[in-house]
């Protein structure tokens, strides 16, 4: 009841006070009401470190990966440290000045700046929802406008060159499954042998948020996967393992380095696992697959994300213009 009263008073005053003044009001009200109505021993004032820790824990429960949680934590800590104020006293202008200075000093892209803005917005929105602050100072900072660039995909010739230049069956099977399923590299390295259904040419991957979804591979991938597994002499349950003994499960970095070196040897620009995923999405949409099905295939929560992966073939646009417009 006491907390509800504090929140109601603060909401009524929020139009007349800035964030710092609201925090001062909150401290006074909490102190007065707690002394009179709340039993001793209850602490409503979490430290900055505790607030960040509680936010990270909430994101972990939502299913964010440890890699993402680490990025969230380091970004928030860097911002708070650079501004030099307690979390509850940071104002909109403090964040605007930080973002502008960060971009100018580090010479980073607008995408990087918007990522920082997005993380701080998520953090302060959570603080607001959990009644740790009255209103988020990030609310008035608009999304950074980023010029949309057409991202590269593999051509048919490049894919064939990558396949032809593989010196072992493992790399060939790895390229085939990335190209035919569009799965994330993080999903690839988690796969076990028993996850592969050769009869139906499909497997279940564990995506973001620990959500399972089926992906499908073509006949060529099936043949090369079977050949690769038949050639293995180890007993590791992982689908892909290192070439050298003791044949440990292949890691994300191992896949990335292998593909990078292969691309450099063939003089193919920017060879990396995610490019296979983008290539699949682009070709699927280009050949007429409904965007909702592509979204499901890639495991995207929002269809806008799927559209960002796909690049419309300009030749088809030209042909459609001639067909429908003249």
pLDDT digits (tens, 9 = 90+) for 103-121: 999 888 888 999 999 999 9
Which residues form the domain of 29?
A: 2-129
- The answer to whether residues 191 and 312 belong to one domain is yes
Per-residue pLDDT at 36 exceeds 60:
no
Contacts of 291 (CB under 8 A, 6+ apart): 285, 303, 306, 307, 310
**Is 144 inside any structural domain?**
no
**φ and ψ of 61, to 5 deg:** -65, -35
CATH number reported for the structural domain that contains residue 196 in this entry: 1.10.443.10
**Is 145 inside any structural domain?**
no
Q: How far apart are CA 79 and CA 102, in angstroms?
A: 10
What is the reported pLDDT for 122?
95
Predicted confidence band at 310 (pLDDT cuts at 50, 70, 90)? low
- Residue ending a domain, among 114, 129, 144, is 129
Per-residue pLDDT at 214 exceeds 60:
yes
Whole-model pTM? 0.66
* Residue 231 and residue 249 in contact, taking contact as beta carbons nearer than 8 Å: no
Q: Where are the beta strands (DSSP E) in the chain?
A: 196-197, 202-206, 212-216
- The answer to whether residues 246 and 111 belong to one domain is no
- The answer to whether residues 190 and 310 belong to one domain is yes
Nearest alpha-carbon partner for 30 in 43, 17, 19, 47: 43
- The answer to whether residues 213 and 108 belong to one domain is no
- The answer to whether residues 118 and 224 belong to one domain is no
- The answer to whether residues 84 and 122 belong to one domain is yes
- The answer to whether residues 309 and 174 belong to one domain is yes
Per-residue pLDDT at 318 exceeds 80:
no
Rg (CA), the chain: 26
**Is 207 inside any structural domain?**
yes
- Residue ending a domain, among 111, 129, 147, is 129
Q: Where are the alpha helices (DSSP H) in the chain?
A: 2-13, 19-37, 48-61, 66-83, 92-106, 110-129, 156-164, 169-181, 185-188, 219-231, 252-266, 273-286, 291-298, 303-309, 314-324
**Is 148 inside any structural domain?**
no
Pick from 98-107, 147-156, 285-294: least confident = 147-156
**Is 140 inside any structural domain?**
no
- The answer to whether residues 207 and 307 belong to one domain is yes
**Is 53 inside any structural domain?**
yes
Per-residue pLDDT at 291 exceeds 80:
yes
Domain count, the chain: 2
What is the reported pLDDT for 274?
93
> Average pLDDT of the chain?
85
Q: How far apart are CA 111 and CA 89, in angstroms?
A: 27
Count of C-beta atoms within a 10 Å radius of residue 303: 12
**φ and ψ of 146, to 5 deg:** -120, 130
Report pLDDT digits (tens) over 185-212: 999 999 999 999 999 999 999 887 778 8
What is the reported pLDDT for 5?
66
- The answer to whether residues 91 and 217 belong to one domain is no
How is residue 88 annotated by DSSP? G
How is residue 167 annotated by DSSP? S
**Is 137 inside any structural domain?**
no
**Is 215 inside any structural domain?**
yes
* Residue 3 and residue 9 in contact, taking contact as beta carbons nearer than 8 Å: no
Q: Which residue has tokens 């690839």? A: 188
- The answer to whether residues 114 and 247 belong to one domain is no
- The answer to whether residues 47 and 193 belong to one domain is no
- The answer to whether residues 83 and 198 belong to one domain is no
């Amino acid at each position: 009841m006491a907390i509800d009263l504090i929140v109601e008073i603060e909401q009524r005053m929020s139009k007349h006070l800035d964030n710092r003044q609201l925090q001062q009001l909150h401290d006074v009200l909490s102190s007065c009401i707690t002394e009179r109505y709340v039993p001793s021993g209850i602490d409503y004032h979490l430290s900055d470190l505790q607030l960040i820790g509680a936010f990270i824990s909430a994101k972990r429960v939502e299913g964010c990966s440890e890699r993402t949680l680490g990025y969230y934590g380091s970004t928030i800590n860097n911002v708070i440290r650079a501004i030099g104020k307690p979390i509850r006293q940071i104002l909109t202008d403090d964040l605007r000045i930080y973002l502008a200075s960060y971009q100018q000093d580090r010479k980073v892209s607008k995408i990087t700046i918007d990522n920082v803005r997005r993380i701080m917005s998520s953090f302060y929105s959570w603080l607001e929802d959990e009644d740790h602050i009255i209103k988020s100072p990030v609310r008035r900072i608009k999304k950074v406008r980023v010029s949309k660039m057409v991202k590269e995909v593999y051509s048919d010739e490049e894919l064939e060159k990558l396949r032809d230049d593989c010196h072992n069956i493992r790399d060939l099977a790895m390229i085939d499954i990335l190209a035919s399923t569009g799965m994330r590299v993080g999903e690839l390295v988690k796969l076990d042998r028993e996850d592969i259904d050769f009869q139906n040419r499909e497997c279940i991957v564990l995506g973001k948020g620990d959500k399972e979804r089926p992906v499908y591979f073509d006949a060529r991938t099936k043949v090369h996967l079977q050949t690769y597994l038949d050639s293995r002499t180890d007993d590791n349950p992982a689908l892909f393992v290192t070439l050298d003994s003791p044949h440990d499960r292949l890691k994300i970095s191992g896949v990335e380095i292998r593909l990078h070196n292969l691309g450099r040897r063939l003089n193919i620009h920017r060879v990396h696992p995610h490019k296979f995923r983008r290539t699949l999405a682009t070709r699927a949409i280009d050949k007429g697959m409904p965007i909702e099905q592509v979204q499901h295939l890639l495991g995207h929560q929002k269809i806008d994300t799927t559209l960002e992966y796909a690049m419309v073939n300009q030749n088809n646009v030209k042909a459609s213009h001639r067909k429908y417009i003249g």
